[in-house]
Amino acid sequence: TLSCYSYKNLSPNDSPSKFVKQFWATLLALLPIAITFANSNYNNIQNLAILAGFPAAIIVILVIISTIIDFNLYLKENDRQDS
């Protein structure tokens, strides 16, 4: 699912490339492994989680905005078809 968001135009029937799927799988697998083997105290792990979560929060906000824009376009398109 995450690899689908990496594409600007991906039709519902298309699938992301294997490279993109593997990139996200590797990235999501390495992050917890790096945190586990960091030999840090909990404050450092907490700071790392906050730093890693900040870009994710921005992406979530952008997905929400994109969904609202797409929903508005969908409503306008249906209004034109009904008229």
Q: Residue 62's pLDDT band (boundaries 50, 70, 90)? A: very high
Instruction: Report the SS3 class of residue 48.
Output: helix
Task: State how far Cα 63 lies from the chain centre.
Answer: 8
Residue reference for tokens 């991906």: 10
Q: What is the pLDDT of residue 68?
A: 94
Calpha distance 8→4 (Å, rounded) = 9
Whether the predicted pLDDT of 3 surpasses 90: no
Element (H, E) at 2: none
